[in-house]
């Protein structure tokens, strides 16, 4: 395979110049599979709430790689053994960790393909690229799947305090303008160390960890679970569901070939193969937006209305409560829409629905963030912290919502 190294740096608005370390990384970035991430928004439809949130998975992947370069440098300086092969594996793993995202990132994760996570698809892409690059990604795949014998390598890519989280909090905070979500990624990385093969944070970094966890909680309620973004996301899922239903009934709907394939085929984890991967790689935000623009003029009242809501940002009303929505409140709104537009229960359910929002900033059951104390002992940050909220952050907070039309559909 011909390699080229014309482009040595990217200029990132957050970190400044990001250096491409070698020809393999350059060629991975240049690959069409990776270039597709330029057309996948990092934050789905959040730009309907925060107009600046138009950054892509491409930005994020490069930012993660930059932070990983810094982390490797810090750990080596502290005497942690990371070979050149392991370094390349880490950089490739973090660069490609989100390559399996579909259009609008998380918004449609289980809609295009049923019950198939983006991590699973990322692994399929990595295995395919590994064949193309003559086994160069074997180390990266071992790290990405959490199977590398050096645990801390896996933890740098996926843990409670990995390079992925450090970048997306800082980046999403920057592009949304939500300053409270900003974290000091550089300081956290400077405090990294390895003890008994596991990643730890030195004690003087404890306040940075607290701020990171508080910022994460804040970003989830304020940005990722913002009620308007939640409505838009649910509408997008409903649009695909309705389009599938109409196509099954024999209605002709214009869409790109890639989108048409996924609307007319039931794809799940059992039949997701290399042929599916090639078709999935042709799918991005552009396919979905083009379909919405076209379908807003469809003959079907439900599909046309839902698409018009997103295109013109005339979204459903949403109420968020601490207690579950009663069946009576739900039926009042459902019956109102049914009678107003002469709809069946099923058709009205596209405009009136309820759901839950869950937020857990620190998942101690999944993994702890360990602090290396001055006396050499390792302690979970929640036990060591004098921050009153830190234990509360490890509890799941659930809120309940109901969506319905404001005045008319």
Residues 6+ away with beta carbon under 8 Å from 125? 33, 96, 99, 100, 277, 281
State the pLDDT at residue 239: 96
* CA–CA separation, 268 and 6 (whole Å): 40
State the pLDDT at residue 1: 47
Q: Indicate the SS3 state at residue 391.
A: coil
Same domain flag for 221 and 232: no
Q: How far is CA 169 from each of CA 106, 126, 143, 218, 219, rounded to the nearest angstrom?
A: 15, 25, 22, 10, 8
State the pLDDT at residue 406: 84
Residues 6+ away with beta carbon under 8 Å from 8? 19, 20
Structure tokens at 141: 């795949």
Q: Which of 132, 133, 131, 153 is nearest to 142 (CA)?
A: 153
| pLDDT tens-digit series, residues 145-176 | 999 999 999 999 999 899 999 999 999 999 99
* Whole-number average pLDDT of the chain: 93
* Residue 384 counted as domain residue: no
Question: How many other C-beta atoms lie within 10 A of the C-beta of residue 297?
Answer: 10
Instruction: Give the residues of the chain that fall short of pLDDT 50.
Output: 1
- Domain range for 338: 227-358
Q: Which of 54, 64, 56, 86 is nearest to 18 (CA)?
A: 64
Same domain flag for 178 and 260: no
Same domain flag for 208 and 270: no
Q: Which of 156, 181, 163 is nearest to 43 (CA)?
A: 181
**What HEC string does 322-350 produce?**
CCCCCHHHHHHHHHHHHHHHCCCHHHHCC
Helix (H) or strand (E) holding 236: helix 227-248
φ and ψ at 91, to 5 degrees? -65, -40
Which CATH number belongs to the domain containing residue 342 in this structure?
A: 1.20.1250.30
Q: How far is CA 182 from each of CA 101, 213, 217, 219, rounded to the nearest angstrom?
A: 24, 11, 12, 9
State the pLDDT at residue 154: 96
Same domain flag for 241 and 258: yes
Q: Decide which of 200, 225, 250 is a domain's last residue.
A: 225
State the pLDDT at residue 152: 97
Same domain flag for 178 and 312: no
| pLDDT tens-digit series, residues 241-261 | 999 999 999 999 999 999 999
Same domain flag for 97 and 245: no
- Number of domains the chain contains: 2
Same domain flag for 212 and 323: no
Q: Decide which of 166, 195, 225 is a domain's last residue.
A: 225
């Amino acid at each position: 395979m011909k390699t080229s190294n014309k482009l040595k740096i990217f200029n990132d608005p957050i970190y400044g110049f990001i250096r491409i370390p070698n020809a393999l990384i350059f060629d991975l970035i240049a690959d069409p599979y990776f270039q597709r991430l330029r057309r996948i928004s990092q934050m789905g439809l959040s730009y309907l709430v925060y107009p600046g949130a138009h950054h892509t998975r491409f930005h994020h992947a490069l930012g993660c790689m930059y932070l990983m370069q810094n982390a490797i440098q810090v750990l080596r300086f502290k005497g942690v053994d990371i070979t050149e092969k392991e370094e390349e594996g880490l950089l490739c793993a973090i660069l490609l960790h989100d390559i399996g995202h579909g259009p609008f990132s998380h918004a449609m994760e289980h809609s295009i393909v049923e019950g198939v996570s983006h991590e699973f698809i990322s692994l399929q892409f990595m295995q395919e690229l590994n064949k193309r690059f003559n086994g160069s990604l074997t180390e990266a795949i071992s790290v990405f799947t959490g199977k590398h014998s050096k645990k801390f390598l896996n933890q740098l890519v996926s843990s409670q305090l990995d390079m992925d989280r450090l970048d997306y909090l800082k980046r999403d905070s920057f592009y949304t303008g939500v300053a409270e979500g900003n974290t000091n990624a550089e300081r956290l990385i400077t405090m990294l160390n390895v003890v008994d093969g596991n990643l730890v944070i030195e004690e003087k970094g404890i306040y940075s960890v607290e701020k990171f966890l508080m910022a994460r909680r804040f970003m989830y309620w304020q940005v990722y679970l913002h009620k308007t973004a939640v409505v838009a996301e649910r509408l997008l899922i409903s649009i695909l569901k309705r389009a599938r239903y109409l196509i099954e009934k024999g209605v002709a709907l214009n869409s790109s070939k890639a989108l048409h394939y996924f609307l007319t085929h039931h794809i799940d984890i059992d039949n997701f193969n290399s042929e599916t991967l090639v078709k999935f790689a042709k799918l991005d935000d552009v396919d979905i937006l083009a379909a919405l623009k076209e379908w807003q003029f469809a003959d079907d009242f439900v599909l046309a209305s839902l698409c018009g809501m997103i295109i013109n940002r005339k979204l459903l009303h949403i109420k968020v409560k601490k207690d579950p929505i009663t069946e009576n409140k739900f039926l009042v709104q459902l019956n109102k829409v049914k009678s107003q537009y002469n709809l069946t229960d099923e058709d009205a359910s596209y405009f009136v629905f309820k759901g839950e929002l869950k937020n857990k900033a620190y998942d101690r059951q999944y993994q702890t963030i360990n602090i290396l104390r001055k006396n050499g002992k390792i302690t979970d940050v929640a036990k060591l912290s004098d921050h009153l909220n830190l234990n509360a952050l490890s509890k799941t907070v659930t809120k309940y919502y109901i969506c319905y039309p404001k005045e008319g559909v």
